[in-house]
Amino acid sequence: MIVYGRRSSINVQKVLWVLGELGIEFRRESIGGGFGGNDTPAFRAMNPNGLIPVLRDGDIIMFESNAIVRYLAARYGAGSLLPTEPHALAAAEQWMEWSQTTLAPPASALFMNQVRIPADRADRKAMADAEARLQTVLPIADKALAGKAFFAGDDLTIGDIVFGCLRWRLDKLDWKQPPMPNIDRWFAALKERPAYKQWVMVPVGRSPEEWAANEKLLG
């Protein structure tokens, strides 16, 4: 098993975290960002988009982080990361989609403008809009987690992976977080998991310079 992608990428982190949870051995190549390597003919033969992550599992080569998460969970985590019980499966799939389509856009706008873009060029309106949107949507997820350990019930599933990666980054940004006691409890539990600690709880930085330094450090 080979993962192509730098550790600082949130999309790579999803895959690494899942591999860690499943106890799958793999090797990784630092590709993308300052490392480059994602615009070579060899890389584009694996992913014509020139983006990370790419997974190679035997003769299977694939891109799109959420598809990789689903593939790994189906092949190696059926009944755990990918629930087989229909209610849990429905919840896991639902929250994975919600995290990607509802939570990720404002979280990413805040992250880009606070970390990746120099402060003097940051889009203040986009940041304010993102913060307002987060304050609207996070309570929805908080309510859903009431009385549950994870989004699909008692166990970690694919429904927690995208949100879990975003949650770590959101925690490192400067914004007014709404009260979210259930998310806080869930986040505290994630922070106890060895694979989350290893692959997701990495330094983010607060400027393009800090970001670049962390990227180099992480590999």
Pairing of strands 2-4, 27-29: parallel
State which residue, 9 or 113, has the beta carbon closest to ligand GSH: 9
Report which of 163, 139, 135, 166 is spatially closest to residue 151, judged by C-alpha positions.
Answer: 163
Q: Does 126 bind ligand GSH (CB under 6 A)?
A: no
State which residue, 20 or 32, has the beta carbon closest to ligand GSH: 32
Q: According to CB under 6 A, which residues from 61 to 90 bind ligand GSH?
A: 63-66
Interhelix angle 10-22/65-76, rounded to 10 degrees, is: 10
State which residue, 65 or 157, has the beta carbon closest to ligand GSH: 65
Question: Cβ–Cβ contacts within 10 Å for residue 37, how many?
Answer: 17
Give yes or no for a contact between 10 and 169, defined as CB atoms under 8 angstroms apart: yes
Closest contact distance (angstroms) between CB of 84 and ligand GSH is 25
Q: Does 161 bind ligand GSH (CB under 6 A)?
A: no
Q: Does 10 bind ligand GSH (CB under 6 A)?
A: yes
CA–CA gap between residue 7 and residue 176 (Å, rounded) = 27
Per-residue contact string for residues 36-65; x = within reach of ligand GSH by CB under 6 A: --x------------xxx---------xxx
Q: Does 9 bind ligand GSH (CB under 6 A)?
A: yes
Give yes or no for a contact between 20 and 198, defined as CB atoms under 8 angstroms apart: yes
State which residue, 112 or 189, has the beta carbon closest to ligand GSH: 112
For 153, residues 6+ apart whose C-beta sits below 8 A from its C-beta are 83, 87, 88, 91
Site for ligand GSH, rule CB under 6 A: 9-11, 32-33, 38, 51-53, 63-66
